[in-house]
Amino acid sequence: MSDCSFCKSKIAPGTGKMLVKNNGKVLWFCSRKCEKNMLILKRNPAKHKWSAKLKQVLKK
């Protein structure tokens, strides 16, 4: 399994959701929370405390 496209956390086998966009991009979501934030609310993962992406941004 891959990492979550939004929060970058590991997705355990048998859980999560894979979404293939019509441009060929593959997105993985660990939860409905991540899916909603990315697709419906169109939020930037770097702006959310609970997302590991923020930690990556701050480290740089």
Of residues 1 through 30, those in contact with Zn ion by CB under 5 A are 4, 6-7, 30
Q: Closest distance between Zn ion and the C-beta of residue 30, in Å?
A: 4
Q: Is 34 in the site for Zn ion (CB under 5 A)?
A: yes
The Cα–Cα gap between 4 and 27 comes to 8
* Closest to Zn ion by CB, 12 or 20: 12
How many angstroms separate the CA atoms of 25 and 21, rounded? 5
HSE-CB for 17 with a 13 A CA cutoff: 13
Binding site for Zn ion (CB under 5 A): 4, 6-7, 30, 34
